[in-house]
Structure 1
């Protein structure tokens, strides 16, 4: 990408550098970039991709030492021909299988000691910083710079729970719906640096009656049908729906009344009654909104901060059939076997096409903390989790982990949520993760988790975990939360996201700087695990 081809709106929002500097960066070697550490914006203006394997996250370079396996939560094989994930990447649990470029860990931020920089930020300053709303001004900034892609359209989102009613529907009538889910191990656990939430919005036809009039009843029922399709259930509870308004006996009790249960059917309802219900596939036009936030602190309580680190948007732009998906996964598998570098389709202000029917668009903080569009390479990083992994479902993670039924509609809240097991497992998911990983993060570097939930000999303290909620298990102390927030603020001020986004104060020990095929540890077959990201809510 050259400077003249770089989108003007994005250029204005991320800032510019001197043309001479951009020219210098364009001819730098990868090692020179690692040393000079130009910012994400400087690399983008120079048209330079620093990390051609940006979709490979830093966690994939963990030192497994022949016995620790955090990789099972993402990498799985699938033998079910009707489950639309055909990646078959379970072998990545056992061995490092990278392209030549991927053998080098480009996430150099992991290896920096930020102790002095973190100490220079006062508690008062970081608390004021994370309580600031950097979401609300974003739409106006985008409009002012001629942005033609999606723009934030949810009022009051910075305030989290107050933007939604008790059933999760946005109070501003935008159609966004919040749902409660169990955070995926372990990057999105607050104890490892971030809080988050995820919202869904179905197309207008799913929110209206056949005559085009808006219908909360139709929307509620259609969202519940979507839940059924992902959970392989015959029925599920839902917030009360007036069957008379729908003229449909959705609970199958033989009469029209108030329904609090819906049974599985072949199609959706209302104006979407011609749209078939496909197993584990979202309808065309489905949107997701994901805010990644700082760790909020209210006294000694951990909350969702107002300030966003990132705002991520996804829309399903193409409905692919099972054969089409299988073909695309097959191509991806072959490309990985051939050690080809990952590719993407740049859609400009609209975002990035994943190749699997979805378009991704991301915003991230500038040096002053205002949200800006991500550069191509920053956005490319997100493709790793939302395209070719064996464990996700239709390229998503949160909705398949939604709390079951009516209770699961509302803003995320795991203060009373139990550590339930994944489907097919007996032990709680978090307890299982601790046991298989030997720590509370992929690098086994979260010392607070080790002190709270592990014995001195490194085994899990199951007795200490008994009866604890998800909140108890995955939230940090106030002091750790402050440190994590400060560490990430340093990364923001440096605009060094392409070198890694993990909020580390000191370098973790259990991570490879480079993978040596001849000496890298592998896992024995008995340390490889089957895993379903869905949960047993019964």
Structure 2
């Protein structure tokens, strides 16, 4: 939430993350919309790059030079291979945090070569198990207009990718992914028609084994706040995973991802196409990875949220501690490990430090708006049209999605926040959507309703300025002072938070991010 100018009315951007949670998320933190209730250790704003942006100290590179830089991949080489994986195989001493001579964490293995269904292949042509999906970016910092483009990939446990005989099968995998999507979004999910008799599972829950064209979400499945369900009603996985489920090794539960689910998220610079439209660049700023390595049921997650609340209450500085597992990353105490690689000063990718990785854990599992610690997949575009990667050029535009209250999500953010970013620093969005009285322009809202790119994408000039601003942070390697691409000193933020004071918001807003109409 931005700092208020004298006499100004409160604007609310905090609801996007801090909201009344839905089980199995028990971090109910909507109170943060109303009062500056924050750990004393975090009251002083340590993101000093916002006050003194590195770009103001850096020599300005030309448009041609910055475009040449962002168009050169630092993930794949000219042969389509992954230099970072080779480096990890002969681990440099500086990267060997555990001092055991080997890399025990995630080794990048996605080929970023996707078929029309979003399935990824490695340079040798083999399926990697990763599948790309399109999702609605979270309002605020995640909008490309505020600095970065990004993508998201998911990979399930091998048993969920195999038929009953244990052989890889993309049709089985697609069905299990649809089942996971139904469990997470609590919606029915369309699928390519398939014979339920061959699978032995009633996917559409019509009571007979026939030809199904959807996975039905069982609304009678137990998902209350106090029970610890070990099943999802009449829903079941298919293929070899069905046997794992029967044996109790692969719980299937509403709102929870299966064990060994992985996510890969690349954060990238912005590119500008020949027609002037902004797209995702080849160069990565970061490569973020998450894996669910332990099972936490509803009761476990509830106890964990209560334990953390108690720990914060009793702690002198109000801070929580998280376990650093070196190469494997940081444990968020909810069954997930998070790790990542970030751009080194020479433009290559390097492992993140402990402090740089904590940047991720603070949100993944620590706010009310996630589902099983994850932001992206609950926001997936529904069904088959959501399985894709990269820019949607040539495809139909995505309209501003409706939430369960009938309000359009991105329009709602503009109304409540009166800006397109958390800092009220994106003057381009403010000038585009608001008139001189700071009222929304109906003509611009009408365009947004038809195509969210009208808000999501910056102009070509702003995109290049944002690229230059981040490159300056990379040159300084000052990520622990903030990664936001500020073009000028940000004025509407606190250097020292007024702890305990009211924010000016009278009533908390509900977050509808996980309840899009699909």
TM category, shorter: 0.7 to 0.9
**Pair 1:89 & 2:35 matched:** no
Tell me the alpha carbon deviations over residues 82-131 of structure 1, each in whole angstroms, 9 at most, x when there is no partner.
x2011111110112122222111001000114565455211111111111
Distance of aligned partners of 1:329 and 1:521 in 2 relative to their CA distance in 1, 3 Å threshold? closer
Matching of residues 301-320 of structure 1 within 5 Å: 301-320=277-296
Q: Secondary structure at 2:474's aligned position in 1?
A: helix
Q: Please name the residue that 1:20 is paired with.
A: none
Question: Which of these residues, 218, 225, 243, is aligned with residue 172 of structure 2?
Answer: 218
d(CA) in 1 for partners of 2:193 and 2:271?
A: 33
d(CA) in 1 for partners of 2:296 and 2:387?
A: 28
My pick for the range that moved more, 469-478 or 455-464, is 455-464
d(CA) in 1 for partners of 2:461 and 2:447?
A: 24
d(CA) in 2 for partners of 1:524 and 1:399?
A: 30
Q: Please name the residue that 2:400 is paired with.
A: 419
Question: In the alignment, is the contact (CA less than 8 A) between 1:291 and 1:308 conserved in 2?
Answer: yes
Question: In the alignment, is the contact (CA less than 8 A) between 1:134 and 1:307 conserved in 2?
Answer: yes
Matching of residues 48-197 of structure 1 within 5 Å: 62-63=3-4, 67-78=10-21, 83-114=23-54, 116-117=56-57, 120-135=60-75, 136-145=82-91, 146-155=102-111, 157=112, 163-172=113-122, 173-197=127-151
Matching of residues 477-492 of structure 1 within 5 Å: 477-492=459-474
d(CA) in 2 for partners of 1:410 and 1:243?
A: 26
Question: In the alignment, is the contact (CA less than 8 A) between 1:118 and 1:490 conserved in 2?
Answer: yes
Count of matched residue positions in the alignment of Structure 1 and Structure 2: 465
Q: Please name the residue that 1:238 is paired with.
A: 191
Distance of aligned partners of 1:524 and 1:154 in 2 relative to their CA distance in 1, 3 Å threshold? closer
d(CA) in 1 for partners of 2:53 and 2:384?
A: 46
**Pair 1:269 & 2:218 matched:** no
Question: In the alignment, is the contact (CA less than 8 A) between 1:186 and 1:440 conserved in 2?
Answer: yes
Q: Secondary structure at 2:308's aligned position in 1?
A: helix
1:467 Cα offset (Å): 3.6
d(CA) in 1 for partners of 2:4 and 2:254?
A: 37
Q: Secondary structure at 2:128's aligned position in 1?
A: coil
Q: Please name the residue that 1:536 is paired with.
A: 516
Q: Please name the residue that 1:21 is paired with.
A: none
1:251 Cα offset (Å): 4.0
d(CA) in 1 for partners of 2:277 and 2:181?
A: 31
Tell me the alpha carbon deviations over residues 368-427 of structure 1, each in whole angstroms, 9 at most, x when there is no partner.
1110000100011111110211111100011000111121112155661000122x2322
d(CA) in 2 for partners of 1:403 and 1:392?
A: 16
Question: In the alignment, is the contact (CA less than 8 A) between 1:183 and 1:398 conserved in 2?
Answer: yes
1:249 Cα offset (Å): 5.3
d(CA) in 2 for partners of 1:74 and 1:203?
A: 29
Question: In the alignment, is the contact (CA less than 8 A) between 2:4 and 2:10 conserved in 1?
Answer: no
1:185 Cα offset (Å): 0.7
Q: Secondary structure at 2:468's aligned position in 1?
A: helix
My pick for the range that moved more, 440-449 or 403-412, is 403-412
Q: Please name the residue that 1:448 is paired with.
A: 428
Q: Secondary structure at 1:174's aligned position in 2?
A: strand
Q: Secondary structure at 1:326's aligned position in 2?
A: helix
TM-score by length of 1: 0.82
Distance of aligned partners of 1:142 and 1:450 in 2 relative to their CA distance in 1, 3 Å threshold? same
1:166 Cα offset (Å): 1.2
Tell me the alpha carbon deviations over residues 426-447 of structure 1, each in whole angstroms, 9 at most, x when there is no partner.
2211110011111000111100
Q: Please name the residue that 1:16 is paired with.
A: none
Question: In the alignment, is the contact (CA less than 8 A) between 1:247 and 1:256 conserved in 2?
Answer: no
1:167 Cα offset (Å): 1.1
1:508 Cα offset (Å): 1.4
d(CA) in 2 for partners of 1:321 and 1:378?
A: 29
1:475 Cα offset (Å): 0.3
d(CA) in 2 for partners of 1:325 and 1:261?
A: 30
Matching of residues 38-53 of structure 1 within 5 Å: none
Q: Please name the residue that 1:342 is paired with.
A: 320
1:63 Cα offset (Å): 4.5
1:61 Cα offset (Å): 6.4
* Long gaps (5+) in structure 2: 76-81, 92-101, 218-233
Q: Please name the residue that 2:225 is paired with.
A: none
d(CA) in 2 for partners of 1:166 and 1:192?
A: 29
1:490 Cα offset (Å): 0.2
**Pair 1:284 & 2:259 matched:** yes
1:195 Cα offset (Å): 0.3
TM-score by length of 2: 0.85
* Long gaps (5+) in structure 1: 1-59, 158-162
Q: Secondary structure at 2:424's aligned position in 1?
A: coil
Tell me the alpha carbon deviations over residues 455-493 of structure 1, each in whole angstroms, 9 at most, x when there is no partner.
111122233220431112210000000000000000000
Question: In the alignment, is the contact (CA less than 8 A) between 1:217 and 1:245 conserved in 2?
Answer: no
